[in-house]
Structure 1
Amino acid sequence: MSIGNSPEDDRPSIGRTLQQARISAGLTVEEVSSATRVRIPIVHAIELDDFSRCGGDVYARGHIRTLARAVGVDPAPLVEQYDAEHGGRPAPTPAAPLFEAERIRPERRRPNWTAAMVTAIVAVIGFVGFTMFSGSGSTDKNKDQVAEGPTTATKAADPAPSKPADPKPAPSDSAIAAVPKDKVTVKVSAVDDKSWISAKTHNGKLLFDGVLAKGDSKTFTDGQQVNLILGNAGAIQLFVNGKSIQNDFQSGQVERLSYTKGDPEAG
C-alpha cells in the first residue's frame, strides 16, 4: 500500500489524479472497469493509492497505464511517479527461472481428421472404380486365358499401376484457426519478445499459464469465450477466429482480453 507523496512533492497522488480525471470525464467506477477489464475492487483500491491488490509492480504499472488512457490522462508521468515512490523500476528478471516450475507440457497436436477422411474417401472411390473396371473385363480375360494359354492370361492379369492420389497439403495455423465456425479460436504469437500468458475458457477452465518464448505460438478454443491475460502485451500478435487483431499495446503493458464467436471487430 502506498504511503502517499513526500512532503516536498505538491503533486496529487496517483490515485487522486485518476479519480479526478474519471469524475471530470463523467465516468463511474463500474464503467471504467467494464472498459478496461480491471476489476472494480482494484479500481477502487488504486484510486485510494493502494496498489497491493495489483499483484506486483509490473501489474500495477499496467493498471495505471490502462486506467489513465480510459479517463483521458497521459500515463507516462503517473508511471514515473509510481516508480519514484516505489524505489524505481527494478532491473528485469530472467523469466525462464521464475516460471520454470509453472511450465506445462506442450499440448499434443490433434490428428487432422479432415485430411484423413478425404484421403480415405479418395481411396474408397479409387477401389470401387478399379473393381468395376476389373469386373467388366473379367469375362473377356477368362476367354483369352482358355484360348491363348497361360502366357496371355498372365499379361492380361497385370493392370497398369494406378496413379496414387495427391496428398492433401497440411493446413496452416491460420487456416486451422478459421475452420470451426461454432467455436471461438484465439491464436497468440510472441513476435517481438517473450511474454507471460494466461488463457481460460468461459467457465474458468485453465488452458495455459506460463511463458511464451519469442517466436512461439499457442492456439486456444472454446465453445463460447476465451479469456486472456497478457503480461507483456506489446510483444504479442493476436489472431481471433482467423482474423488478425490490430492493437497499440505497449511493451510491459498488462492486458485482460475476452473474445467470443464471430467477427472479433464487429460491434
Structure 2
Amino acid sequence: MTTTHSAGSAAGERLKRAREASGYDLSEASARMKLPVHALETLESGDWDRLGPPVFVRGHARSYARMLGICLDDEALPSPFTTTQIPSLVSHAHVPRYRYVAENLVRRAVYIVLTASLVVPVWLATRAHGDGATAVAPLDISPSQTSQVEPAVRTPMVASIASMPAATPAAAPVEIQFDGDSWVQLFDADGSIVEKGLMHAGQSRSVQSDAVSRLVLGNAAAVRLQVQGLPVDLAPYTRANVARFTLSSDGSLAPSAP
C-alpha cells in the first residue's frame, strides 16, 4: 500500500510537534540526527518523495521519531515496495579476452624466469664439478708413470638459489546477508560501480575483497556482514542508518566519506 501525501503530512506534523515540545530547533535536531536541516524539514513537511527510495525514508523517519521519543505507525510510513521497477544487479567485472591472454603470458614468463634462476646455477655447478673430477695423463707418459700424475685440484662450488617471491595473500571472502530491504552499491578500486540494486529480506550476496573496494549499504540495521567467516559490527561505519566503508584485500574495513 502506497502512503498518500496526506498521511505523510500527518506523520510529519507529529514529528514537528514532538520536536518543538522537546525544545529542539532544526539545527539542534540536525546535529543530533547527523542529517542535513533540509532533510528534517522535508520529513516534517510530509513531502517524503524528495528524500529518495522509500526504504531510506522509513529508516530516517523511524530514527527521527525515536530521537524525539514518539512512535510512528507502519501505516504512516511509506511502503518499501512502492518502487515501480527493481533494478537488477548487473556485473561490470567482465575481463576482456586480450587481458586474459596477456595475464596468461605474464604468468608463463614468470614461471620460466623462476625455473631458469633455479636450474641454471645448479647446472653450471654440476658441469664445473664434472670437468675437474677426472685427471687425464699426457700421451707421452708411460703407463708406469701415470700413477705419479697428481689429479687436478677440485674447486668446490656452491649453487646460488634465488629467493622465491613472497606469496600474494588470498582475497578475503565477504558475505552480506539481508534481514530487510536494503539498497546496495559496490565499487571497485577505480571508483566505478561494480553492482547496485535493491536487496530483499532473506537474500544474501558473496563477494571477494580483491574485487570490491568500497561498499554502501542502506538500512544498515537490517544487514549482517561477515568477513572470512567472522561477523563485523557495522555501527562504526553507519550514519543515518546507511553504512559506508572501504574494504582492503586482506579483509580489513575503514570508514568511507559519503
TM-score scaled to structure 2, two decimals?
0.52
One-letter amino acid of the counterpart of residue 173, structure 1 = A
Work out the CA distance in 1 between the residues paired with 2:68 and 2:90: 40
Q: Quick one: which of 11, 14, 37 aligns to 2:11? A: 14
Query: Residue 228 of structure 1 contacts residue 257 of structure 1 at CA under 8 Å; is this kept in 2?
Result: yes
Q: Give 1:64-83 correspondences, 5 Å limit.
A: 64-69=61-66, 71-74=67-70, 77-80=71-74, 82=76
Does 1:137 pair with 2:126? yes
Work out the CA distance in 1 between the residues paired with 2:191 and 2:225: 23
Q: Quick one: which of 196, 204, 225 aligns to 1:209? A: 196
Work out the CA distance in 1 between the residues paired with 2:30 and 2:186: 20
One-letter amino acid of the counterpart of residue 22, structure 1 = R
Query: Residue 196 of structure 1 contacts residue 231 of structure 1 at CA under 8 Å; is this kept in 2?
Result: yes
The 3-state SS of whatever aligns with 1:197 is strand
Q: Quick one: which of 227, 230, 235 aligns to 2:218? A: 230
Q: Give 1:1-267 correspondences, 5 Å limit.
A: 2-3=5-6, 13-23=10-20, 27-30=24-27, 32-33=29-30, 36=33, 38-55=35-52, 57-69=54-66, 71-74=67-70, 77-80=71-74, 82=76, 98-99=85-86, 102-108=88-94, 120=110, 124=113, 127-142=116-131, 171-173=170-172, 189-192=176-179, 195-199=182-186, 206-212=193-199, 214-218=203-207, 220-221=212-213, 226=214, 228-230=216-218, 233-237=221-225, 244-247=232-235, 255-259=241-245, 264=254
User: For residues 139 and 45 of structure 1, do their structure 2 counterparts lie closer, same or farther at Cα, with a shift above 3 Å needed?
Assistant: closer
Work out the CA distance in 2 between the residues paired with 1:14 and 1:51: 10
Greater mean deviation of Cα atoms: 228-237 or 203-212: 203-212
Structure 2 residue ranges without an equivalent (≥5)? 137-163
- How far 1:38 sits from its partner (Å)? 4.4
One-letter amino acid of the counterpart of residue 196, structure 1 = W
Q: Which residue of 2 aligns with 1:9?
A: none
Work out the CA distance in 1 between the residues paired with 2:12 and 2:219: 22
Query: Residue 234 of structure 2 contacts residue 243 of structure 2 at CA under 8 Å; is this kept in 1?
Result: no
- How far 1:138 sits from its partner (Å)? 0.9
Query: Residue 189 of structure 1 contacts residue 215 of structure 1 at CA under 8 Å; is this kept in 2?
Result: yes
The 3-state SS of whatever aligns with 1:18 is helix
- How far 1:44 sits from its partner (Å)? 0.2
Query: Residue 225 of structure 2 contacts residue 231 of structure 2 at CA under 8 Å; is this kept in 1?
Result: no
Structure 1 residue ranges without an equivalent (≥5)? 6-11, 148-164, 175-186, 248-253
User: For residues 19 and 127 of structure 1, do their structure 2 counterparts lie closer, same or farther at Cα, with a shift above 3 Å needed?
Assistant: same
Query: Residue 45 of structure 1 contacts residue 51 of structure 1 at CA under 8 Å; is this kept in 2?
Result: yes
Query: Residue 38 of structure 1 contacts residue 256 of structure 1 at CA under 8 Å; is this kept in 2?
Result: no
- How far 1:78 sits from its partner (Å)? 0.5
User: For residues 209 and 4 of structure 1, do their structure 2 counterparts lie closer, same or farther at Cα, with a shift above 3 Å needed?
Assistant: closer
One-letter amino acid of the counterpart of residue 208, structure 1 = E
Query: Residue 196 of structure 1 contacts residue 232 of structure 1 at CA under 8 Å; is this kept in 2?
Result: no
Q: State the aligned residue count.
A: 202
User: For residues 142 and 173 of structure 1, do their structure 2 counterparts lie closer, same or farther at Cα, with a shift above 3 Å needed?
Assistant: same
User: Residue deviations 1:39-82, cap 9 Å, x none?
Assistant: 4323102112332323454443222112223x2424xx313350
Query: Residue 103 of structure 1 contacts residue 210 of structure 1 at CA under 8 Å; is this kept in 2?
Result: yes
TM-score scaled to structure 1, two decimals?
0.50
User: Residue deviations 1:63-121, cap 9 Å, x none?
Assistant: 2112223x2424xx3133505xx7xx68x68x9x9435x4322524899x9xx99x94x
Larger Rg: 2
Work out the CA distance in 1 between the residues paired with 2:90 and 2:54: 25
Query: Residue 64 of structure 1 contacts residue 79 of structure 1 at CA under 8 Å; is this kept in 2?
Result: no
One-letter amino acid of the counterpart of residue 117, structure 2 = V
User: What RMSD, in angstroms, separates the aligned Cα atoms of the two structures?
Assistant: 5.2
* Percent of pairs with identical residues: 16
Work out the CA distance in 1 between the residues paired with 2:126 and 2:62: 79
